[in-house]
Structure 1
Amino acid sequence: MSTTLNDRGQSSPAVLSLSGKKVVVVGGKTGIGLGIARAAYAAGASVTVASRRITSVEERPDLVNYEQMILDVRDEGAVREAFDTIGSFDHLAVTAGPEFGSWGNFMDGDMRGVRSYLEGKFFGSWACARYAAPHLRQGGSITLLTGGLAVRPKIGFSAVLAAFSAVESLSGSLALELAPTRVNTIRPGFVDTELWKNFSAEEREALKEKVRNSFPARHAGTGDDIGHAALFLMTNPYVTGTVIEVSGGENLVPSVF
């Protein structure tokens, strides 16, 4: 079993427990965010999931264990008000981002697409970290989210790459500026979530088959895989300013996309 040192410098078992802690997941009702919310709840935390609307538990029974609140990360005033309402808590994970189709190509006729993406991803992450930081308890953490495009450029995704790279740089800067609050980033690879909802069932299955055949992990990622990584970042007191790639080895092989 792995060990860590307690406050007296003595060796003690490393435990991935959030018992008695409060976790806020921005964008926590679907996909990766929901995977993080599930992991935090399973580890004993009380969990608040924030998104653009409240969903009834009749519509989504899987949300019954979480407190919900409305939050649009593009609205700075709303972000500040939301965290003032939440009050003291322990860990923040920001997974929210622009919806599929809002990505701006470099040579688009105007810059509305790229501005929308940066507003939703980079400035949204910035605002959440900024207004959450004063409310984080001792030993707290902030976890941001990017993606493989941060290190693997693709034609037509300049706005995404720029936003992801900016978020990862911000994470390192905040690890210094907000210390001892820990700030880290998770960089997922392909994860089978609602992000791909615009693809047909056949197209999604074909893509997952390519992933299973080519990625070293031999399976498509899930929200729970990312939740496992987030739980590690929330509970390990010696990890900060880091980017953890959870990609199944995607960047070791030729692109399947």
Structure 2
Amino acid sequence: MNASTNNFEQPTLSPSSLNGKRVVVVGGKTGIGLGIALSAYAAGASVIVASRRITSVEQHPELVNFEQVTLDIADEAAVRKTFDIIGPFDHLVVTSGPGFGTWGTFMADDMRGVRSYMDAKFMGSWACARYAAPHLQVGGSITFLTGGTAARPKLGLAAVVAAFAAVESLSGSLALEMAPIRVNTIRPGYIDTGLWNVLSVDERIALNERVRTTFPARHAGATEDVGHAALFLMTNPYVSGTVIEVSGGENLVPSVF
């Protein structure tokens, strides 16, 4: 079929444009979530960032262009209320999760750590998608966030690996269940964010250098790298049920951690 006889409607937006769209980023005030929120705003979107508390823009001027709403991802009733308040919007990105080291170990004295982690990461992602669904506009999308351990388990991270794998499976299932709303997942590798402040300055510098010299991309991941992937998933109408890895080729080389 040639172009003159092709009756399919073509997208009117450029691949990177979010002009006139409303984007909600759950966990969009720091780290990867903030990087995605900034990328969406730069692409023309009105951005709403959702987290447990409102943050002063005087103290955090990077948030000045965003609308802020409160949302506790572990509280189902609160999640429902927040999305009812937000109303109609176009794209949801769920980046939030429990803090570093909160998951416990497989043989811990009890299972509180894993239950808490699964509730916040997996059930929280489920709740956000569930209560966002009635408000998503035609052509909308949901993007979840996991991590490289979903594909490359590490010692002591059984809860994290299980939660990430569950979110990725949920993403594929919802791509079918919510169609034509598109549902995808981003799986980042090492990204240089405040998450790594648990290391000393020297340790963090050394880690970044190992990443730059070892990973095939020869680049330490930045939040804008994940933001770029999020824009692709929000604006490409033919991508659904996909996990996109943004890792610089991390899983192709021996671990640097």
Q: Does 1:199 align with 2:199?
A: yes
Q: Does 1:216 align with 2:216?
A: yes
1:1-12 equivalences in 2 (<5 Å): 8-9=8-9
1:15 deviates by: 2.5
Structure-2 residue corresponding to 1:177: 177
1:118-157 equivalences in 2 (<5 Å): 118-157=118-157
Structure-2 residue corresponding to 1:245: 245
**AA matched with 2:90:** D
Q: Counterpart of 2:114 in 1: which secondary structure?
A: helix
1:8 deviates by: 3.3
The answer to which of 114-123 and 137-146 deviates more is 114-123
**Separation of aligned partners in 2, 1:237 and 1:207:** 37
**AA matched with 1:30:** T
The answer to which of 195-204 and 20-29 deviates more is 195-204
Q: Counterpart of 1:119 in 2: which secondary structure?
A: helix
Q: Is the 8 A contact 2:145 2:186 kept in 1?
A: yes
Deviations 1:210-239 (A, max 9, x none): 101100111111111000000000000000
Q: Counterpart of 1:24 in 2: which secondary structure?
A: strand
1:11 deviates by: 8.7
**AA matched with 1:105:** T
**Separation of aligned partners in 2, 1:179 and 1:233:** 15
Q: Is the 8 A contact 2:26 2:94 kept in 1?
A: yes
Structure-2 residue corresponding to 1:3: none
1:1-257 equivalences in 2 (<5 Å): 8-9=8-9, 14-257=14-257
Deviations 1:159-183 (A, max 9, x none): 0000000000000000000000000
Name structure 1 gaps, 5 residues minimum.
Answer: 1-5
Structure-1 residue corresponding to 2:3: none
**AA matched with 2:106:** F
Deviations 1:105-139 (A, max 9, x none): 10001011111111111011000000001100000
Superposition CA RMSD, Å? 1.4
Q: Is the 8 A contact 2:193 2:223 kept in 1?
A: yes
Identity %: 73
Sort the Cα spacing of 1:11 and 1:169 in 2 relative to 1 into closer, same or farther, 3 A: closer
TM-score for both structures, normalised by structure 2? 0.95
Q: Counterpart of 1:197 in 2: which secondary structure?
A: helix
**AA matched with 2:88:** S
Question: What is the aligned length?
Answer: 252
**AA matched with 2:217:** A
Q: Counterpart of 1:109 in 2: which secondary structure?
A: coil
**AA matched with 1:50:** A
Sort the Cα spacing of 1:199 and 1:180 in 2 relative to 1 into closer, same or farther, 3 A: same
The answer to which of 97-106 and 86-95 deviates more is 97-106
Q: Is the 8 A contact 2:15 2:232 kept in 1?
A: no
**Separation of aligned partners in 2, 1:165 and 1:199:** 26
Q: Any runs of at least 4 consecutive aligned residues in structure 1 with deviations exceeding 2 A, and if so which?
A: 6-15
